């Protein structure tokens, strides 16, 4: 499902010394943490993971494809944009983009594929009906 007017959520992250590797730029693995922070912030803004947990479901990331566009350095402020790209029958895709604050300079972008996992049945559930409507709020 493609949304005609997708909502984006933004969070800013300042690059700290502990984010850096021996080359003085953000370590590639840290970008996954920045993306995760963006998703958590988006969830908090209008999507309650606890409500899923009460129903016996978990939000599970099953794949991340990330493109590194430019290194990020100490004290730069990164802007992480998060939006739901599409919902399929049993999975969904969230698009995330990291840019330098105050510019359109791309730092990294990613497509994050997720499923909603039924904890009792130990399998992904179809994204339909009330669950689909709930996810569309992301």
Is the pLDDT at 3 greater than 80? The verdict is no
Active-site residue flag, 120: no
Under a CB-based contact definition with an 8 Å cutoff, are residues 64 and 31 in contact? no
Please compute the mean of the pLDDT values over residues 59-82 and round it to a whole number: 97
Is the pLDDT at 4 greater than 80? The verdict is no
Which residue is catalytic, options 21, 48, 109, 120? 21
CA distances from residue 57 to 51, 62, 84, 117 in whole angstroms, order as listed? 9, 15, 19, 5
Q: Over the stretch 78-125, which tens digit does the pLDDT of each residue have? A: 999 999 999 999 999 999 999 999 998 999 999 999 999 999 999 999
Is the CATH code 3.10.129.10 the one for domain 9-136?
yes
Q: Model-level pTM?
A: 0.89
Q: Where are the domains of the chain?
A: 9-136
Return the pLDDT at 6: 57
Copy the structure tokens of residue 51. 């409500």
């Amino acid at each position: 499902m493609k949304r005609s007017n997708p909502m984006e959520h933004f969070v800013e992250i300042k690059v700290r010394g502990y984010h850096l590797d021996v080359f003085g730029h953000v370590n590639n693995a840290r970008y996954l943490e920045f993306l995760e922070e963006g998703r958590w912030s988006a969830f908090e803004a209008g999507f309650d993971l606890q409500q899923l947990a009460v129903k016996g479901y978990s939000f599970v990331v099953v794949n991340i494809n990330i493109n590194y566009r430019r290194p990020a350095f100490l004290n730069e402020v990164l802007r992480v944009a998060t939006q739901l790209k599409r919902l399929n029958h049993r999975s969904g895709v969230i698009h995330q983009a990291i840019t330098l604050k105050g510019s359109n300079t791309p730092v990294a972008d990613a497509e994050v594929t997720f499923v909603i996992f039924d904890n009792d049945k130990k399998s992904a559930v179809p994204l339909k009906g009330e669950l689909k409507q709930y996810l569309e709020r992301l």
